[in-house]
Amino acid sequence: MSATTVPPQPDSSTVTKRVTSRGSKNGQHRRLGGWWLPYALLAPAILFELLIHIVPMATGVWVSFIKLTQIYLRNWGAAPFVGLGNYSVSLDFNSAIGKSLLNSFLVTCGFTVLVVGISWGLGMAAAVALQRAFRGRGLFRTLFLIPYAIPIYAGIITWKFMFQKDTGAVNHLLFDNLGLPGDKPFWLIGDNAFLAIVIVAIWRLWPFAFLMLMAGLQSVPQDVYEASAVDGAKPLRQWSSITLPMLRPVNVVLVLVMFLWTFNDFNTPFVLFGSTAQPPAGDLISFHIYNASFLTWNFGTGAAMSVLLLLFLLVVTSAYLLFVNRRSKRA
Amino acid sequence: MRDTVGTKVFRVVTLVVLTLFTVIPLWVMITTSIKPLGDVQNAFAWIPEHITLEPYIHIWQTVPLAQYFLNSLIVCTVATFVSLIIAVFAAYGVSRWRFRGRGAFTTTVLSTQMFPGVLFLLPLFLIFVNIDQATGIQLVGTRLGLIITYLTFVLPFSIWMLAGYFDGIPRDLDEASKVDGTGAMGALWHVVLPAARPGLVAVGIYSFMTSWGEVLFASVLTTGPTQTLAIGLQQYSTQINVYWNQIMAASLVVSVPIVVAFLLLQRSFVAGLTAGAIK
Amino acid sequence: MGKTRAILAATAIAALTLTTAACSSGGGGGGSSSGSDKDTTLTYWASNQGTSIQNDKDVLTPVLDKFTQKTGIKVKLEVIGWNDLQTRIQTAVSSGQGPDVVNIGNTWGAWLQSTGAFAEFNDANMKAIGGADKFVKTALDAGGAPGKTPTSVPLYGLAYGLYYNKAMFADAGLQPPTTWEEFVAAAKQLTTGGKYGLALAAASYTENIHFAFLTAAQNGASFYDKDGKPTFTSQPIVDGLSRYLALMQTDKVVNPGNAQYDNGTQAIADFASGKAAMVLSQNNADASIKADGMSPDDYGVVALPSPKNAKAEVATFPAGINLSIFKYTKHLSQALKFVKYMTSEDTQSTLDKPYAALPVLAGAKASFTDNADEAKVFLDAYNNKSKPLPQVATEGSFESTIGKGLSQEFATIATGGTVSDADIKAMLKTAQEQVEAQG
């Protein structure tokens, strides 16, 4: 192990000789060592990726083609091969399994659009509001980053307490303090659960958007704004004509990363709804698959659902990157 | 340049709304943690009527929190450092060389970010067991297993961030160092790493926080004495009564160190992200 | 490009496999098999039976120490919460790595038996732990499919009962109910002034499936036919579930807030604090009620009442915790000794009290309570008015699908919706399809 983590040091004199003899042609990168050096540098990363990501993933894909239930769990090799059977069960939207998967998928789509959209909006608003120096700016910046720094489960558990019907802060605020009419509603069961999980996820995610956008804004030179102000541009117009285009590289990455995190979110429903009672309105897809696998011991269909989820994410991501690249070429 | 009225209104409204949104849960967490259980079980009150520090004493007895704390600390620290080392080498390779398979490597590594954890949880467990049986290295139920899992989870993002960072460091500097006769590794050590320090800090913070918050794999790969805070915190609610005041106290205890550390390092974090992300 | 990647990946995987193979020839194969007792350490996963995991450790450690003193066999204890136990057993089953001995819910008996991962208590093994005759027959039969060699033996016995608040009943001039109708009438009368007649853990799928099973059984229905095929949607089952849901929906004797209780202890806390006059619970509630500050003199227990026209008088199923030995264990003889010790008269009488468990040993006296009436009610229910849950391989998903379906229907009711018989039937149909997909 240790032999691979520390790549051997190349003999420097030969390196220099080779570099000077070859020189750099047309911006081609110079070789600082033997052809194997980059591979040696990558080797530890590749090893761990294979061990933890790739091989288990390949195994998971294989599982999606076999009928892995409790009877075969002890001896996977004996599980019968069912071809695309697990997939057709998952995608048969007339059956109970397919219908609930579809419901979960739609819930997740709505969840993702709302959470990513609103988080981005809040992050942008905060970043712009704190763009110019004023007294107390550092305080706000520090404060806004706290939800991001708090361990995920600690933040979600706090919200779970706040969403309790009779003893929670949310109902107390809405009905006792603000005097909303009617009875205090449930937040963690029934349809309100969707709202609850969206709020929690935004609370957790928006500081990240804020952080990235704030970092991005620091590279926008102040004099650009001043020049456009002289031209009579209003703040909103400045934002759309200067800020937004300058932040494009950040936004391209930010939106993608937030999309992937939110769509795959497992922790929020797991901690918020507990491991036994999940309302259909908050049945996010990762959590749905987890339950389909572990609660009913039906790992074959669970794996098939995961592979479908992965394919969906791959397609969306590729389309997104294609779209983004084409636009940047045109621009 | 003076702000227009509109700008001012926008700023005040934004800051007030977001401050409330951020602070309310924090306030609830703090005040609930010092209320007696009886008060917590009744209607909510913003200002605690009775104040007690008992929850902070009981949390250590209800659940072996100190042990979990130590486990989290060891696992996350080691995972962060090892992943940083591995990511530095990989990012250096990706940034400074054009070689066959480079594209495949970066695409594959980045696409692992899309893998649903549920899909490879059980296979990973099985692989760990097989390694154990073949080599005698115990990975299930040990901190080591969790360490190598977490360090891999954060590798893709770390490599991507650092590669972007290294790209921004002019190659001429490498060349200069190389002329000094220190070779590729020397250039990495003497030139690239010092210049990339903010990036390293940012990636380190990201890795540590990601590991600190992981729930799913921790629940399967650890056993009693090696469990981490993520699991430990959930145990408060499986008790005979839901001790919300203790849960809040424990949440606060596990949050404070990481929040403080993060806020102390936030400047480097932002600086590191800026340079890495805007490539 | 794709080709390069494939080759790269294939090479890497091959390399990895080779490394593993190379190492495997060198490394030893783990622990030695069935050595002497003194060198053996058994790993034991206990379920969370006490008031907290720490409490379980405190209760079990002296008992295990005594075993080590007697036999020299060391025991490594891990107490696992109910939320994690299933997943942990799954990983152990799939990998062959885990504890030697494990606690299981006895309703999982047949289902875990079907995995083939557990050692059979055949004649020889049964003899080694003291013979099948030492157990109460109901308890032993509950832990596995009929006609198959059991893979688990009873450790603690549990039964359901209806706890009632004596003072509230006396104030209202009520007698403890003997029929379902009396039960509902009493609950209605006691639902006044912010207090409710009954507390239910309506979001707990395990509690829900238990009561679904009991109400359906009182209606004479079975969830599986003779061949082990699910028959969830029969009318008596729908009627049973409807009667159970009615407690919140039409009788309105359960606080809608209970639709959020995902843990039986939350309902017990309401009962102990006087917010509810009755609670349905297994007999180990005694410890929780006491911990919540209610004196044992202030409550009474009767059997879960059946309707007047019930097809069968069913008050409970033989609930409880069983012990199983994993087949992969390298210390079978020591594990058997341990099971024998845990199910010995001495150990049982030590553990029955803190865990409020019914005796699983034939002829043993109930020691979980000092209240003779309470003991009588639970023992009578356990021995005479019980029907076991379906002992089939799909029992696990039967529990989770219907139990969670009911949680959601309670949520619908609590949030102002209505659940009709057609809705119940639709839920049962969904559950049946999921169970069939697994079977």
Is residue C5 pLDDT above 50, yes or no?
Answer: no
Contacts of C257 in chain A (CB under 8 A): 165-166
Tell me the pLDDT tens digit for each residue of C137-187: 888 888 888 888 999 999 999 999 999 999 999 999 999 999 999 999 999
At A95 the pLDDT is 81
Say if C16 is an interface residue toward chain A (CB within 8 Å): yes
Is residue C6 pLDDT above 60, yes or no?
Answer: no
The verdict on a CB contact (< 8 Å) between A49 and B108 is yes
**Which are the contacts of B24, defined by CB distance < 8 A and separation ≥ 6?**
A162, A169, A173
For chain B, give the mean pLDDT. 84
At A205 the pLDDT is 94
In angstroms, the separation between the Cα of residue A120 and the nearest Cα of chain B is 13
Among the residue ranges A137-146, C75-84, C313-322, the one predicted with the least confidence is C75-84
Nearest to B135 among C1, C23, C52 (CB): C23
At A82 the pLDDT is 84
Domains, chain C, with CATH or none: 37-158+318-384 (3.40.190.10), 160-315+394-438 (3.40.190.10)
Residue to mutate among B39, B216, B240, with most C CBs inside 10 A, is: B240
DSSP annotation of A184 reads P
Q: Give the pLDDT band (50/70/90) at residue C203.
A: confident
Nearest to C203 among A46, A166, A277 (CB): A277
Tell me the pLDDT tens digit for each residue of A130-162: 888 888 888 998 899 899 889 888 899 899 989
For chain C, give the mean pLDDT. 86
Contacts of C203 in chain B (CB under 8 A): none
At A138 the pLDDT is 86
Report the complex ipTM.
0.86
CA C378 centroid distance within chain: 16
SS (HEC) of chain C: CHHHHHHHHHHHHHHHHHHHHHHHHHCCCCCCCCCCHHHCEEEEEEECCCCCHHHHHHHHHHHHHHHHHHHCCEEEEEEECHHHHHHHHHHHHHHCCCCCEEEEEHHHHHHHHCCCCECCCCHHHHHHCCCHHHECHHHHHCCCCCCCCCCEEEEEEECEEEEEEHHHHHHCCCCCCCEHHHHHHHHHHHCCCCCEEEECCCCCHHHHHHHHHHHHHHCCCCCECCCCCECCCCHHHHHHHHHHHHHHHCCCCECHHHHHCCCHHHHHHHHHCCCEEEEEEECCHHHHHHHCCCCHHHEEEECCCECCCCCCCCCECCEEEEEEEECCCCCHHHHHHHHHHHCCHHHHHHHHCCCCCECCECCCCCCCCCCHHHHHHHHHHHHHCECCCCCCCCHHHHHHHHHHHHHHHHHHHHCCCCCCHHHHHHHHHHHHHHHHHHC
At B138 the pLDDT is 83
Contact C385, A163 (CB under 8 A): no
Burial class (CB in 10 A: 0-12, 13-18, 19+), A22: exposed
Among the residue ranges A223-227, B64-68, C8-12, C211-215, the one predicted with the least confidence is C8-12
The verdict on a CB contact (< 8 Å) between B99 and A169 is no
Tell me the pLDDT tens digit for each residue of B98-128: 888 888 888 888 888 888 888 888 888 878 8
CATH C-level class of A95-297: mainly alpha
Q: Give the pLDDT band (50/70/90) at residue B77.
A: very high
Any idea where the domains of chain A sit in the sequence? 1-53, 95-297
At C413 the pLDDT is 94
Q: Give the pLDDT band (50/70/90) at residue C372.
A: confident
| Greater model confidence, A110 or C355 | A110
Is residue A242 pLDDT above 70, yes or no?
Answer: yes
At C28 the pLDDT is 31
The verdict on a CB contact (< 8 Å) between C401 and A296 is yes
In angstroms, the separation between the Cα of residue C103 and the nearest Cα of chain A is 18
Is residue A249 pLDDT above 90, yes or no?
Answer: no
| Greater model confidence, B279 or B24 | B24
Say if C11 is an interface residue toward chain B (CB within 8 Å): no
For chain A, give the mean pLDDT. 82
Among the residue ranges A207-211, A240-244, C17-21, the one predicted with the least confidence is C17-21
Tell me the pLDDT tens digit for each residue of A162-175: 998 888 899 999 98
Q: Give the pLDDT band (50/70/90) at residue A298.
A: confident
Is B60-277 a domain of CATH 1.10.3720.10? yes
Is residue A102 pLDDT above 70, yes or no?
Answer: yes
At A331 the pLDDT is 53
Q: Which residue's entry shows tokens 């067991």?
A: B129
At B23 the pLDDT is 94
pTM over 0.90? The answer is no
Is residue B153 pLDDT above 80, yes or no?
Answer: yes
Is residue A93 pLDDT above 90, yes or no?
Answer: no
Contacts of A46 in chain C (CB under 8 A): 12
Winning range, highest mean pLDDT, from A83-92, A300-309, C34-43: A300-309
Percent of chain B topping pLDDT 90 = 24
Nearest to C265 among B129, B132, B241 (CB): B241
CA B23 centroid distance within chain: 22
Among the residue ranges A83-97, A216-230, C201-215, the one predicted with the least confidence is A216-230
At A165 the pLDDT is 83
| Greater model confidence, B130 or A115 | A115
Nearest to A296 among C397, C407, C415 (CB): C397
At A276 the pLDDT is 57
Is residue C263 pLDDT above 80, yes or no?
Answer: no
Contacts of B109 in chain A (CB under 8 A): 45, 49
Say if A294 is an interface residue toward chain C (CB within 8 Å): yes
Contact C369, C282 (CB under 8 A): no
User: Structure tokens of C356?
Assistant: 């409020």
At B276 the pLDDT is 53
Say if B40 is an interface residue toward chain C (CB within 8 Å): no
Tell me the pLDDT tens digit for each residue of A267-286: 899 888 875 567 888 889 99
Contacts of C354 in chain B (CB under 8 A): none
Q: Please state the rounded mean pLDDT for residues B263-272.
A: 78
Closest CA to A273 of C28, C433, C404: C404
Subunits with 3+ Cβ pairs within 8 Å of A are B, C
Q: Please state the rounded mean pLDDT for residues C262-271.
A: 84
- Rounded to whole angstroms, the Cα distance separating B109 from A57 reads 13
Q: Please state the rounded mean pLDDT for residues C127-137.
A: 90
CA A216 centroid distance within chain: 19
At C434 the pLDDT is 83
Q: Give the pLDDT band (50/70/90) at residue A3.
A: very low
In angstroms, the separation between the Cα of residue A106 and the nearest Cα of chain C is 19
At C367 the pLDDT is 78
